[in-house]
């Protein structure tokens, strides 16, 4: 156990050190753009790894393998959908968004970009977006606290949940509060490498050292939930291609979320030059395919070797931790388990920063304090980071039922972002005729349909992002066609952004 403690200790010292380093380095020259988007100076490798690390939370190492281990190959369609969505986002959206955000008033947030893209003086869309961001990201951060505390208490059983959350929060805040976007991206870069090494190491060692036993997949396990008393049956199934059409469609639907995910989209906006996107895309797509593929293998082997140990008590989410402890020495196991903390933190710190930037740049500066200085904006942003963290901590510290509800809401928040913002982002980049009213209608429609489907139609088994996304797309098109064509200046902005040599 001492080796695990040493590994965790070194990891957190490194994370806090990065935050303090960038605070001291940039405290004189850093401004709003530097703090929230890194001054558009991020390199291709850092951009790619940061985008993927902030995308894949502890869900990659706990939620997904646990779900596949318990319920079979049908859950792998989620991984396939995410891989396809990642590739499409990098190939079709990344470069255009980098160029359009620069052309549209050097926008540093997604709401600011959507407003500047149409040269409107109205703050309606910015306010709607900022409110959705702030609410959803508070939930996301709370889920990060829950996941981080779960790992800590698993590794250190004597540690209370509250103490574990405080340790996690201090390290995350030190990076985000002081260092801003650069610190977040650089820690994400190293955390992304750590996550990839960890998720590859486990299946490689299993394949090279253990005898396969496919017959173990046929056993059906059950466990009883301690809180509700509900009995869950874990049947692995017969194969990925025998999955139901609902599993396939809903799994692939996860990929639609990427087009509206602000903490990922802002990475595209931060890269130094649009020409660097191609290299970033290659790195990111390779990373996500390797990571998701290895995660599926961990679940497969978990069902083969650890099912009796974990499924009978409903502990399938700890399959990665169990393998790390069984296969590696204590210090190496500690490093691998630190990857789960890395996954939680890399997502939570990115979401904190986007929530902060949305409030300061989209509400505080344009509406509350129009003459606010760069220094004031910077410190307001830091205060918002602190406030969101405190609210998230309070939610995550609620009773077990509330914490579980938060974890479930992460899936719903993903659908909410994708439904509300995905179609508007895509059309703003590819449709010259697209209008501001169309964008507002699409964002509002997507959000409403997503919530209504979740509330009244979730029994269908169809993931709410699918009706939400396509209803939003239809609303964008219909309201745009009903509206008058964009003015000459707006069309010129579009032509400027799509020009091959713009900002290269």
Segment 390-441, tens digit of pLDDT: 888 887 776 544 334 444 666 778 898 999 999 999 999 999 999 999 999 9
* DSSP secondary structure letters along 36-94: HHGGG-B-HHHHHHHHHHHHS-GGGTTHHHHHHHHH-GGGHHHHHHHHHHHHHIIIIII
CA-CA distance, 210 to 229, in Å (whole number)? Answer: 36
Q: What is the pTM of this model?
A: 0.86
Q: Which of 15-19, 172-176, 191-195 has the highest mean pLDDT?
A: 191-195
Kindly report the length of the chain.
Answer: 504
- The pLDDT value recorded for residue 448 is 94
CA distance 146 to 404: 9
Question: What do you get for the CA distance between the two ends of the chain, in Å?
Answer: 52
DSSP track, 335-395: HHHHHHHHHHHHHHHHHHHHHHHHHIIIIIIIII-TT--HHHHHHHHHHHHHHHHHHHHHH
Q: Is residue 345 a contact partner of residue 168, using CB atoms and an 8 Å limit?
A: yes
Instruction: Give the model's pLDDT for residue 401.
Output: 45
Q: What is the mean pLDDT of residues 196-225?
A: 87
| Residue whose C-alpha is closest to residue 14's, from 284, 488, 254, 345 | 345
Picking from 353, 413, 390, the residue whose alpha carbon sits closest to that of residue 50 is 353
Count CB-CB contacts under 10 A for residue 402. Answer: 13
Domains and CATH numbers, the chain: 2-106+127-498 (1.20.1730.10)
Please give the Cα distance from 168 to 160 (Å, whole number): 12
Q: What is the pLDDT of residues 216-266, one digit of tens each?
A: 788 888 888 766 677 888 888 766 766 778 888 888 889 999 999 988 998
Which of 319, 385, 6, 345 is CA-nearest to residue 192?
345
* Distance (Å, whole) CA 233 – CA 504: 56
Most confident option among 77-81, 279-283, 306-310, 314-318 = 279-283
């Amino acid at each position: 156990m001492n080796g695990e403690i040493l590994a965790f200790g070194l990891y957190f010292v490194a994370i806090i050190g990065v935050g303090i380093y960038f605070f001291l380095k940039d405290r004189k020259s850093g401004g709003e753009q530097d703090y929230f988007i890194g001054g558009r100076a991020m390199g291709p490798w850092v951009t790619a790894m940061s985008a993927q690390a902030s995308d894949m939370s502890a869900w990659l190492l706990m939620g997904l393998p646990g779900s596949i281990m318990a319920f079979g190959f049908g859950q792998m369609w989620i991984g396939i959908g995410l891989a396809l969505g990642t590739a499409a986002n990098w190939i079709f959206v990344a470069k255009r968004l980098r160029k359009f955000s620069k052309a549209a008033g050097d926008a540093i947030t997604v709401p600011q970009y959507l407003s500047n893209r149409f040269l409107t003086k109205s703050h309606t869309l910015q306010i709607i977006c900022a409110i959705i961001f702030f609410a959803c990201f508070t939930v996301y951060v709370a889920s990060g606290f829950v996941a981080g505390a779960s790992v800590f208490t698993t590794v250190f059983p004597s540690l209370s949940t509250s103490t574990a959350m405080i340790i996690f929060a201090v390290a995350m805040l030190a990076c985000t509060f002081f260092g801003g976007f650069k610190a977040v991206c650089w820690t994400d870069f190293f955390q992304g490498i750590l996550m990839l090494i960890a998720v590859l190491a486990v299946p490689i060692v299993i394949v090279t050292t253990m005898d396969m036993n496919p017959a173990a997949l046929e056993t059906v396990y059950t466990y009883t939930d301690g809180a509700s008393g509900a009995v869950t049956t874990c049947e692995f199934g017969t194969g990925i291609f025998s999955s139901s059409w609902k599993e396939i469609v809903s799994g692939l639907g996860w990929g639609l979320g990427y087009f509206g995910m602000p903490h990922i989209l802002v990475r595209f906006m931060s890269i130094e030059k649009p020409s660097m996107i191609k290299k970033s895309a290659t790195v990111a797509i390779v990373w996500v395919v390797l990571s998701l593929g290895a995660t599926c293998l961990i679940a497969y082997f978990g069902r083969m070797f650890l099912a009796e140990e974990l499924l009978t008590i409903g502990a399938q989410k700890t399959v990665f931790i169990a393998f790390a402890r069984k296969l590696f020495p204590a210090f190496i196991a500690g490093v691998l388990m630190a990857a789960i903390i890395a996954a939680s933190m890399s997502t939570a710190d990115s979401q904190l920063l986007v929530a902060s930037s949305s409030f300061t740049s989209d509400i505080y500066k344009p509406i509350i304090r129009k003459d606010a200085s760069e220094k004031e904006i910077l410190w307001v942003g830091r205060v918002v980071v602190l406030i969101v963290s405190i609210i998230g901590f309070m939610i995550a510290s609620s009773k077990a039922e509330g914490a579980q509800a938060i974890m479930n809401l992460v899936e719903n928040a993903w659908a909410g972002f994708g439904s509300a913002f995905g179609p508007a982002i895509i059309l703003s980049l590819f449709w010259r005729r697209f209008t501001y009213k169309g964008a507002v209608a699409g964002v509002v429609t997507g959000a409403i349909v997503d919530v209504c489907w979740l509330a009244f139609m979730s029994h269908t088994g169809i993931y709410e992002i699918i009706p939400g996304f396509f209803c939003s797309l239809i609303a964008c098109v219909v309201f745009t066609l009903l509206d008058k064509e964009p003015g000459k200046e707006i069309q010129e902005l579009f032509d400027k952004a799509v020009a091959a040599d713009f900002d290269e």
